[in-house]
Amino acid sequence: MTGPSLRERALRYLARRDHSRAELARKLAPHGSAGEVEAMLDRMEELSLQSDARMAANWVRGHAGRFGRARLQSELAHRGVPPELIEEALAGNDAASELERARAVWQAKFHAAPADAREWARQARFLHARGFTAELIRAVLREEPENARETSR
């Protein structure tokens, strides 16, 4: 008994969420020849069922509240999105919104400013892992918590 066709598999993957062309190719590769997979990917793109630009924009929109620009770039590159589409998807994220996101992420995890160097380093590592730059991390951790809350309102 044969399994679902290549087309059915592609449609199932795309029905769950947007996939980059590279992700979809990787998932479909075990189920067809390279030529069949490429033809199917071309057809999905032709029908506007698969779009790297749409996938990148949706992914950024869904994850921007939790991650900084560097992490967003890294994740999209890992998913096989071309660099020019990554930049296009991240174009709406300016420095002011990046600072606000860093504050929000920090406030959700830590409710008090670091009391000592060890705590400061722990909080800085957390923000760094979320993809925020060292400059933003210093700005967030040097603020008074009351000032950060007032500016975010």
Note whether 1-50 and 51-93 share their fold: yes
Q: Of all residues in the chain, what percent carry a pLDDT higher than 90?
A: 81
Name the DSSP class of 29.
Answer: G
Query: How many angstroms separate the CA atoms of 137 and 135, rounded?
Result: 5
Contact 10, 24 (CB under 8 A): yes
What is the CATH architecture of 51-93? Orthogonal Bundle (1.10)
Residue of 16, 88, 8, 4 lying closest to 43 (CA atoms): 8
**Matching residue, tokens 């300016």:** 94
For the chain, the domains span 1-50, 51-93, 95-152
Residue type at position 125: R
Residue 81 has phi, psi (to 5 degrees) of -80, 135
Residue 149: Cβ within 10 Å count = 12
pLDDT in tens, the chain (153 residues): 477 899 999 999 999 999 999 999 999 999 999 999 999 999 999 999 999 999 999 999 999 889 999 999 999 999 999 999 999 999 877 667 889 999 999 999 998 889 999 999 999 999 999 999 999 999 999 875 554 444 444
Q: Which CATH fold topology does 1-50 show?
A: Arc Repressor Mutant, subunit A (1.10.10)
